Structure 1
Amino acid sequence: MTLLNEDAKGVYVIAVTPFAEDGALDLTSVDRMVDFYEEAGATGLTILGQLGEAPKLTAEESCVLTERVIKRLDGRLPVVVGVSAPGLAPMRELAETVMGMGAAGVMVAPPWTLKTDDQIFSYYAGVGEALGETPFVLQDYPLTTNVAIAPKVIERIVREVPTCVMLKHEDWPGLAKISVLRAASDKGEVRRISILCGNGGLFLPEEMGRGADGAMTGFCYPEMMVGVVGAYQAGNVERAHDIFNAYLPLARYEQQQGIGLACRKYVLAKRGVIATGNLRKPGVALTPADIADIERLLARQARRLEEIGA
């Protein structure tokens, strides 16, 4: 497998983790899900992310899931694996394991204990040292980690930690951050790295306009992200916005704290991608009113997509 590098672009879908009714890993659904994402036009997959319920998996389950996904893809698409951990030793151990399986790279979010710019830089310098030659994605998601990473800190990491090849940008509001980072690389002040964006794709057209290379996030219709990124890369900005707008009401609904992932898995189950929409405990379940909302949004979305020929 080719290793992840600074030229990565497109759509790396953050995959859900399918569970059976009894809460066990559903490996049959994993196969079907991988096929679905590939057929939808994904450039790569990212597993063991926060919305992949990684903290609810045992170490053994994390390895079983990773091996299953990588073997199913058989080198056709790159796989990035989340290896965030409180300590560098378990991070290094998991990274070595998944890279040995054929992963293209790993993703690392900062621990919540980091408060200052120097602490953040020192942490990622340590990550680079611990991971050796393994390329990694810096996950910048302050809404969840409570760690705000200023552009100047990201630039310092990029300058001094060569194995940091991608920023997963999930700051909110964060469009200005993309502009600052791209201006710095355009001027030759810092190495240009890949920027893929998250937050369920809620700001994807604007992020592409600021210089992002694509998306690394989840949504129950990955076709939206593939369509938006493809249209933008082809120079058809208006088409990108038309596609985005057709899916926006459902994407917005899916971004609710608490029930967002349950919504995503409900729709994926409805589409036949996974057998059940179950979240592993502790996790919320949709109410009948939630389901009615989703069904209404799906019906309206289908009509709008037909209208625009998407």
Structure 2
Amino acid sequence: MPQITTETKGVFVIAVTPFTDTMAVDTASVDSMVDFYYDKGADGLTILGMMGEAPKLTQSEALDITRQTLMRSGDKPVVVGVSAPGLAAIEELTKAVMDMGAAGVMVAPPGSLKTDDQIFTYYQNVVDTIGTDVPVVLQDFPLVTGIHISSSLLGRIVEAMPSIVMLKHEDWPGLAKISDIRNAEAKGRRRLSVLCGNGGVFLPEEMERGADGAMTGFAFPEMMVDVVRLAGNGEMERAQDIFDAYLPLVRYEQQPGLGLAVRKHTLAKRGAIASATQRRPGAMLAPKAIAEVERLIARQTRKLEALA
């Protein structure tokens, strides 16, 4: 299976973790979900992320899900989230998933870091611990981690740690950071693949700023695939039109504390997974919220038909 590099582009969908109504891992839905994402045009997957309910899994479950996803993905690249409070856990999980054939690992900084030097040292320790041969995705998600990585600090990290090949860009506001990255590269700094998160809310603008694609979840991954493809071909107006048709549902899915429930409900409605169940803590959508989602999906369908 290919590994991610500084040239990696496209859409890597952040996969949900399917559970049965009794909150057991739904292995049948893992397969159907993987098939669904690739059928909709995904270039790869990222599993065991924050929206994949990774903290709610046992180590054994995490390894089983990784093994099954990799087997189902064939030659498609799969990145595995290995963020953990301690380096020993990161090292153990990284070794296991890379031995299985993962394309790389994703690491978010722990919230205990306070200074730029601490953040820099943390990533240096991660790289030293897991080995410089493992491709790393740096997850920059300050809204959740509370860790703010400035453009200058990111530059220090990129220059010092070549095995960090990709940025999962989820800063908000963060469009200027993409411009900073590409401007630094134009002046001679090594290239960094930039795939963007935040549910795709800013995807057209991110692509215009020089992003390489998306690494995020949305229950209609074909939107992200189309926007990335069209933007890459220079068809920004068409990309924006497609994005606009999905925007109300993208916005609704971005609600803090509710977004995963919306995503899982929609994926279940589309047949990707059998149940919208989340593991506790996590709730199903209330009837009123379900009605709102259904109305937004119906409006989205009409808008897409008008664009066809």
CA offsets per residue over residues 56-99 of structure 1, 9 Å max, x none? 00000000000000001122x10000000111111011000000
Question: 2:289 is matched with which residue?
Answer: 290
CA contact (8 A) 2:140 2:170 kept: yes
In structure 1, C-alpha distance between the alignment counterparts of 2:289 and 2:238, rounded to whole Å: 31
CA contact (8 A) 2:12 2:216 kept: yes
- State the percentage of identical aligned residues: 61
Question: 2:19 is matched with which residue?
Answer: 19
In structure 1, C-alpha distance between the alignment counterparts of 2:298 and 2:23, rounded to whole Å: 30
Q: Which amino acid aligns with 1:272?
A: G
> Counterpart of 1:195 in 2: which secondary structure?
strand
Following superposition, the deviation at residue 187 of structure 1 comes to: 1.1
Q: Which amino acid aligns with 1:214?
A: G
> Counterpart of 2:172 in 1: which secondary structure?
coil
Following superposition, the deviation at residue 299 of structure 1 comes to: 0.5
Q: Within 5 A, what are the aligned runs for 1:78-93?
A: 78-93=77-92
Following superposition, the deviation at residue 21 of structure 1 comes to: 0.7
In structure 1, C-alpha distance between the alignment counterparts of 2:276 and 2:284, rounded to whole Å: 9
CA contact (8 A) 2:276 2:284 kept: no
Q: Which amino acid aligns with 2:185?
A: S
Question: 1:162 is matched with which residue?
Answer: 162
Question: 2:219 is matched with which residue?
Answer: 220
CA contact (8 A) 1:258 1:284 kept: no
TM value normalised by structure 1: 0.98
In structure 2, C-alpha distance between the alignment counterparts of 1:3 and 1:184, rounded to whole Å: 25
In structure 1, C-alpha distance between the alignment counterparts of 2:114 and 2:177, rounded to whole Å: 19
State the number of aligned residues: 307
> Counterpart of 1:297 in 2: which secondary structure?
helix
In structure 1, C-alpha distance between the alignment counterparts of 2:257 and 2:191, rounded to whole Å: 36
CA offsets per residue over residues 16-56 of structure 1, 9 Å max, x none? 00000100000100000000111111010000000000000
In structure 2, C-alpha distance between the alignment counterparts of 1:243 and 1:128, rounded to whole Å: 39
Following superposition, the deviation at residue 234 of structure 1 comes to: 1.0
CA contact (8 A) 1:16 1:53 kept: yes
In structure 1, C-alpha distance between the alignment counterparts of 2:127 and 2:7, rounded to whole Å: 19
> Does residue 153 in structure 1 map to residue 153 in structure 2?
yes
Question: 1:237 is matched with which residue?
Answer: 236
> Does residue 7 in structure 1 map to residue 3 in structure 2?
no
Q: Which amino acid aligns with 2:126?
A: V
CA offsets per residue over residues 142-198 of structure 1, 9 Å max, x none? 00000000011111111111100000000000001111111001111x211100000
> Counterpart of 1:281 in 2: which secondary structure?
coil
Following superposition, the deviation at residue 208 of structure 1 comes to: 0.4
> Counterpart of 1:81 in 2: which secondary structure?
strand
Structure 2: gaps of 5 or more residues: none
CA contact (8 A) 1:78 1:104 kept: yes
In structure 2, C-alpha distance between the alignment counterparts of 1:103 and 1:291, rounded to whole Å: 36
In structure 1, C-alpha distance between the alignment counterparts of 2:29 and 2:199, rounded to whole Å: 22
TM value normalised by structure 2: 0.99
Q: Which amino acid aligns with 2:7?
A: D
CA contact (8 A) 1:7 1:193 kept: yes
Q: Within 5 A, what are the aligned runs for 1:271-290?
A: 271-290=270-289
Q: Within 5 A, what are the aligned runs for 1:101-180?
A: 101-132=100-131, 133-180=133-180
Following superposition, the deviation at residue 131 of structure 1 comes to: 1.4
Question: 1:255 is matched with which residue?
Answer: 254
In structure 2, C-alpha distance between the alignment counterparts of 1:40 and 1:212, rounded to whole Å: 21
> Counterpart of 1:80 in 2: which secondary structure?
strand
> Counterpart of 2:3 in 1: which secondary structure?
coil
Structure 1: gaps of 5 or more residues: none
In structure 1, C-alpha distance between the alignment counterparts of 2:270 and 2:162, rounded to whole Å: 41
